[in-house]
Chain A
Amino acid sequence: MTGATKWAPLVLFILLGSALTYGLAKPESNTIKSKMVGVSVPSFTLPAAVPGVPGLSSSDLATGRPHLVNVFGSWCLPCMAEAPQLKQIADAGVPVVGIAVRDKPEALQRFLSRYGNPFGAIGADDASQVMMAMGSSGVPESFVVDGQGRILQQQIGPVNPEDVAGIVAAVKAAR
């Protein structure tokens, strides 16, 4: 056996070992990005989640005005934490609409009177069906949707204070 073939198995073993160790050591990411970014919002119609605020349908998102679609629930802690930021975004002139996942009207009403209501419309998604259709895997998530109803951007997790400017800019830049 020549030198090269003699050492080849050891070298291969070390290469494989380092690749596997690297894969194990790298922290695993468990956020699931929606593959619907870049695609039109799937067609849906949701009834009003609370009396006094209209429900939401996909045709409301294709009226020529870009929107921020917030997937949330009154039972979700980070959704309470992001409420002030959504208010800021709405105050900046961005139309914000909500998809309330698995929510009760009374609980949602309490949530809105306690944390404010930035939403122009809130649809009741009682069995998470529209959430799934959007490729969203939890609450809260927010989608920037352009005037034709195309999803431009997905925010996974709460909208933090440092995200506000970027989201407002993204919606303003959309058509």
Chain B
Amino acid sequence: MRRLLLALALVAAPVLADSDLPPAPLANTQLPDAKQEAEAKALMVTIRCLVCQGQSIADSDAELAGDMRAMVRERIAAGEKPEAIRAWLVQRYGSWVSYEPPFDRVTWALWVAPILFLVVGALIARTSFRRRRV
């Protein structure tokens, strides 16, 4: 009996974690205009889901991700630019919500390091080649 209750609780808990409202109309429906849908999709794959934090809102099945997709599609359909929607989300949740890292005080090292490594590598290669010729 206890085992059965435990098993039931395991099934019931995730059910209770979601609301019983159906997904928003535009959460899982493409926009009629193919060009707008492509814009929305391109944005959705670069926005992080706030619930399943390793997934984009295009991939995530979380309810909030559905509501975020609906929001993106509604705004694109209303003529808003994708980058304005990204900026709106970043303003609320920080640049963490975007999968396209900006160049700023925190992230500059990530962008500069590869160039720096290339330059250092070229210098090392030059000196070692020169030594061999002697």
Contact = CB atoms under 8 A, between A and B. Distances in A.
A53 interface: no
Interface stretch (A31-39, A114-122, A160-168): A31-39
A132 interface: yes
Which secondary structure dominates where chain A touches chain B? Answer: loop
A132 B21 contact: no
A50 interface: no
Contacts of A75: 16, 18-20
B53 A104 contact: no
B21 A133 contact: no
Contacts of A101: 19
Nearest to A30: B53
Given A35-B91, A35-B94, A137-B50, A104 B20 contact: yes
B96 A32 contact: yes
A44 to B, nearest CB: 13
B67 A137 contact: no
A107 B19 CA distance: 10
B16 A77 contact: yes
A127 B64 contact: no
Given A128-B67, A132-B92, A32 B21 contact: no
Interface of A: 30, 32-36, 73, 75-77, 101-104, 107, 126-129, 132-135, 137-138
Given A75-B19, A132-B71, 6 more contacts: A34-B93, A35-B94, A73-B19, A104-B20, A128-B64, A138-B51
